[in-house]
Each structure stands twice: as C-alpha cells, then as structure tokens.
Amino acid sequence: MPPPYVTKVSSSATGQMTFTVLIDGLEEDVTEEEFIEVTGAATQVGGAFAMINQVVNSPTNVDDKGTGSVDVTVTPSPAKKFRQDLDVTVFLRVSRVWVTVLGQGQADRNPEHPEIIPPGEHRWGIPRASAQVYAQ
C-alpha cells in the first residue's frame, strides 16, 4: 500500500482523539469490503501520547484517483494531556489485514537436512491457509 498520512486530528470533550487518515492507491470499484490496520502513536512535546492500533473497514469514500480516508478514534494516555497550543506529531503504519493458519511442526526448508526441534520447544510452522480479510 502507498504511504498514508493524517489530514486532521481532533479531540472531543470526553478526551478521545480522532485521526483522519488519507490513504492512496485504493481501488475505486472494490466489490468486497476490505479491512486495514492502522497502527502508530501521536506525541506532543511535554510527554502527551496516544497509542493508535485499530482494524477498520477500508475507505468507502474513494475518489477517481484511488484516494480515500478513514477515521480512527483512540483514548490518549491520561498521564499528560494534549495541549491546544502545541503541535502534534503522528507516526502511522497502514496495512492490509491477512490471516495465516499454521499447523504444529516445522516445514523443513531442506529435506536432506531437517531442522531439529529441541526438547521442550514447540513450533507451528506448517502453512495450512492464508487469506486477506474481507467483510461478509
């Protein structure tokens, strides 16, 4: 996915913060609804911070250039309050959501020299299935 960026940050009377995230490179005519993960943090000089980690529906407001936006709302840490008179710095990563199922054992990369699993160690390394997550 191309890089996203935040176009707006707002805070409510309840203290929650909403980040409007612009996302490029989307398909205008997607028939199935796709999920994306938005992770990162917002910080401010003086110690205010908010962790961002949500799985949200892909934008439905995609324009003819493949650009859309999503809103992500979080509750910042109560330790230090965000101040109106200071800039906010936001670090973000946006990615598609994939699920992978692994079976118990180890898929040997080289059958002539199988990897030995030490006693007491467990591994799940046999691929069973993987898929991108879509709404039903």
Tokens of 73: 């709302």
Average pLDDT score over the chain: 84
Same domain, 80 and 111: no
The verdict on 55 and 67 lying in the same domain is: yes
Whether 68 and 30 share a structural domain: yes
Tally the domains of the chain: 2
pTM over 0.85: no
CB atoms within 10 A of CB 119: 5
Mean pLDDT over 27-33 rounds to 58
Instruction: Answer whether residue 7 shows pLDDT above 70.
Output: yes
Same structural domain, 68 and 119:
no
Do 87 and 111 reside in the same domain of the chain? no
Cα R_g (the chain), whole angstroms: 20
- Same domain? 44 vs 106: no
Are 53 and 65 in the same domain? Answer: yes
40: left (phi over 0), alpha (psi -120 to 50) or beta: left
Looking at residue 62, what is its pLDDT?
A: 81
- 112 pLDDT above the threshold of 50: yes
**Shared-domain flag, residues 89 and 105:** no
Under the banding of pLDDT at 50, 70 and 90, the label for residue 31 is: very low
* Same structural domain, 67 and 112: no
Residues 39 and 67 in one domain: yes
Contact 19, 7 (CB under 8 A): no
Residues 6+ apart with CB under 8 A from 77: 48, 49, 50, 51
Residues 72 and 111 in one domain: no
Complete DSSP assignment for the chain: -PPPEEEEEEE-TTS-EEEEEEE-S--TT-SS-BEEEEEEEEEETTTEEEEEEEEEEPPS---TTS-EEEEEEE---TTS---TTS--EEEEEEEE-EEEEEEEEE--S-TTSPPPPPTT---EEEEEEEEE-B--
Domain that holds residue 29: 5-96
Specify whether 13 is located in the same domain as 64. Answer: yes
pLDDT tens, position by position, 56-108: 888 877 888 878 889 999 999 999 999 999 999 999 998 888 888 988 877 76
